[in-house]
Amino acid sequence: MSLFEGIPGDLKYGRAENSADLRQRPLAERMRPRNLEEFAGQEHLVGPGKSLRMQLENDDATSMILWGPPGVGKTTLAKIIAQTTQSTFIEFSAVVSGIKEIKQVMAEADSAASAGVRTILFVDEIHRFNRSQQDAFLPYVERGAIRLIGATTENPSFELNAALLSRCRVYVLAPLADEQVLRLLQKALSDRERGLGESGITADKEVLGLIASYANGDVRRAYNALEAATRLAVSRQQPQLNGTLAMDALQQKTLLYDKSGEEHYNLISALHKSVRNSDPDAALYWLARMLRSGEDPMYLARRLVRMASEDIGLAAPEALNLALSARDAMDFLGSPEGDLALAQATVYLALAPKSNSLYTALSAVVQDVEKTRAEPVPLHLRNAPTKLMESLDYGKGYRYAHDEEGAVSDMECLPPGLLNTTYYHPTDRGREKQLKQRMDELARLRSRKRT
């Protein structure tokens, strides 16, 4: 049997299901927009004259990748495209479907294309296929046998191979604004055909706004919470939703996060840059976001240690000790008790004087180590533990600093090819101001001894 024959018509062509069947589906599925007029959000893509809308209106058969967080309309857009273009719509999820199954469908779509039948292959979570598996799509996309629409929550630049990416347009979908989610909830609560209107439950704007806020731009989550809250209201014989019912349905705000995905790197970047910019409030906010999202606290502790060296350094050398102490406290106490130690270190690092002089100095040294000849250690800097080494002039000309005025000599310690090179340039901030004064003093002492 052809795989096409086993796919229901509503999945192949995006047609509406009968009302009896629809009532058995979750609210989010029942309220799924059927056309662009019902679609909310993504005005930058589907608004009048915008790129994706123009592609639909012109029946452009280009394959595409829809990239965005959960619940923003990726699957809905794919179904609207299929309905608009009257293409066969086949939906797979990379979570539950194998590439072998998809290959078989693509081969059948290739045959159907010769008869003028167009096929849209929608693959949700396409990033879950590895790069070699993604190669299977290439010949069919290249020939136009299928119109591939891939949906992903991950950055396509990192998760999709370049060959497939070059053959697809990438559209970035954004989380919906709270006001947009609120309007969708109001509509769902009053809609008697597809929504919750027959329940007779009402809700004021404040309660629906609470649900919209906690949904964090994820419409599916908002619908699920509204449906759960309405069922609670019915079971408790309460005609109107209140804050308690809403909170019972929500349980806990879900924050978009993936410890190995792009959002992980976005958030740690925001934390690091807030500390670097001496903004303690922003730094605390991003720290709390990551902790509440389930980030490993010890990862955050390690990053704070890095910030202490990279962005503060010798301007406030005690910052490194505080960051290490915070790490030890978190290791000893665990979360949530240890969270306060991380917060303490974060605020201190944000307020500490900043300097990347040590960071840039080490980078410059590493460059010279890699690019210049590995010169031998000058003889006067070598130890001479044996008579032979002493006879070879090991240690000859060495000057013991403690015997010199100011405990410093004018002896050169760099190899000959790097004489007079300066790597460390302290700032005038924090403790480095004193270090700079000390360096100037040492330079004057050496200069006087050389004349």
Residuewise pLDDT in 10s, the chain (451 residues): 344 444 433 344 444 455 556 667 888 889 999 888 888 888 898 888 888 888 888 877 688 999 988 889 898 988 888 888 777 888 888 877 778 788 888 888 877 777 777 888 888 888 888 888 888 888 888 887 888 899 998 888 888 888 888 888 899 998 899 999 999 999 999 998 889 888 888 988 888 998 888 888 889 889 988 988 888 888 888 888 888 888 877 765 555 555 556 677 888 999 999 999 999 999 999 999 998 887 889 999 999 999 999 999 999 999 999 999 999 999 999 888 899 999 999 999 999 999 999 999 999 999 999 888 889 999 999 999 999 988 999 999 999 999 988 898 989 999 998 998 999 999 999 999 999 999 999 989 888 888 7
Token duo for residue 35: 């056309």
| Amino acid sitting at position 408 | V
262-351 fold: Zinc Finger, Delta Prime; domain 3 (1.20.272)
Where in the chain are all domains bearing CATH 3.40.50.300?
9-172
* CATH class, 9-172 region: alpha beta
Where in the chain are all domains bearing CATH 1.20.272.10?
262-351
178-250 fold: Helicase, Ruva Protein; domain 3 (1.10.8)
CATH architecture of the domain 376-450 equals: Orthogonal Bundle (1.10)
pLDDT at 23: 65
Asked if 173 and 42 touch (Cβ cutoff 8 Å), the reply is yes
Burial of residue 338 (CB within 10 Å: 0-12, 13-18, 19+) is buried
Helix ranges (H only) for 8-50 are: 9-13, 19-22, 27-30, 43-46
Where in the chain are all domains bearing CATH 1.10.3710?
376-450
pLDDT at 435: 92
